[in-house]
Amino acid sequence: MAVVQLQSGQMHYEIEGPAGAPVLVLSNSLGTDLHMWDAQVASFSKSFRVLRYDTRGHGQSVVSHGPYSIEQLGRDVLDLLDALKIERAHFCGLSMGGLIGQWLGIHASGRLLKLVLCNTAAKIGGPETWGPRIETVEKGGEAAMKELGAGAVERWFTPDFARDHADEVTTVTNVLAATSPVGYAACCAAVRDADFRKQLGSITVDTLIICGSHDPVTTVADGHFLQNHIPGSQLSDYYAAHLSSVELGQTFTLRVTEFLLS
């Protein structure tokens, strides 16, 4: 297991690909871990040094006391890059990972080569969305996480993908069911409090936005808001729900690779 020890605990990561290639950081969504990128790694690692990690509160990374903030999660990325002596990298984040990407684009653009924001928004929901979920998880613990895992299918995948790729869907939702309730609730608070709607104009790195036409969480309209406020950004939308990287597979990989190499 590859880990770096940060001031507040360990960050679990995996790094693959040619040593001299540009680094591509992959950042997971709320309730998943670095394995949500499994379908992409073999292809990405042909062109990039692929660095994926478990966000704080998830997988094998530290579960510290919450609530967290997106700034805290963004600084974790910078600390990870520093620990691995990586000066600059491409960054691709989905959902919560996309919020982390926005924070990095706003506050640490000098560390970025290019930025990919997938299935995300400048603001994802509000207290009315996140408050009840945090309360449910804090009260219900592991049992509540299992219920969330079962209920995530409709948000994360289109009905036909869920039907035709049942094993793949189960693998992903099982990760959510096994996520630490403490870490999950703390990250829910980070997502709840993030609002970059007035700061997007300060993102100056080349940016690609990827949306799912059937994403009920972060809609195509949210993607267009990002595109309209991030100067020079590109947008691609596909038939997919919230976890487009999983659902689209190679289509997702090729679009991101094309953008990063252009």
Extended strands (E) in the chain: 2-6, 9-16, 23-27, 49-53, 89-94, 112-118, 206-212, 234-238
Q: Average pLDDT, stretch 210-227?
A: 98
Residue 126, phi then psi, degrees to nearest 5: -150, -165
**pLDDT value at residue 91:** 99
DSSP type of residue 22 = P
Confidence of residue 6 (pLDDT cuts 50, 70, 90): confident
For 4, residues 6+ apart whose C-beta sits below 8 A from its C-beta are 10, 11, 13, 79, 80, 83, 84
Cα–Cα nearest to 53, from 72, 66, 69, 37: 37
Residue 21, phi then psi, degrees to nearest 5: -80, 160
Cα–Cα nearest to 32, from 193, 146, 174: 174
In a 13 Å sphere around the CA of 260, the CA atoms on its Cβ side amount to: 28
Cα–Cα nearest to 227, from 115, 124, 129: 115
**pLDDT value at residue 57:** 98
Model confidence at 1: pLDDT above 80: no
115-126: per-residue pLDDT in tens?
Answer: 999 999 999 998
Q: What b/e readout covers 28-41, taking b as 16+ CB neighbours within 10 angstroms?
A: bbbbbbbbbbebbb
Q: Tokens 């506050």 label which residue?
A: 107
Q: Average pLDDT, stretch 1-22?
A: 92
Structural domain tally of the chain?
Answer: 1
Model confidence at 221: pLDDT above 80: yes
Length of the chain as a residue count: 262
**pLDDT value at residue 23:** 98
**pLDDT value at residue 7:** 80
Instruction: Give the lowest-confidence range in 3-7, 148-152, 236-240.
Output: 3-7
Cα–Cα nearest to 9, from 57, 50, 51, 52: 57
160-206: per-residue pLDDT in tens?
Answer: 999 999 999 999 999 999 999 999 999 999 999 999 999 999 999 99
Q: Average pLDDT, stretch 59-67?
A: 95
In the β-sheet with 234-238, what is the strand arrangement from edge to edge? Answer: 2-6, 9-16, 49-53, 23-27, 89-94, 112-118, 206-212, 234-238
Q: What mean pLDDT, rounded, does the chain reach?
A: 97
Contact in structure between 210 and 227 (CB atoms under 8 Å): no
Confidence of residue 8 (pLDDT cuts 50, 70, 90): confident
- Cβ-based neighbour number of residue 27 at 10 Å: 30
Confidence of residue 256 (pLDDT cuts 50, 70, 90): very high
Cα–Cα nearest to 76, from 176, 183, 1, 4: 4
CATH number for 56: 3.40.50.1820
**What is the percent of the chain where pLDDT is above 70?**
100
120-145: per-residue pLDDT in tens?
Answer: 999 999 899 999 999 999 999 999 99
Question: Residue 142 is part of which domain span?
Answer: 2-261
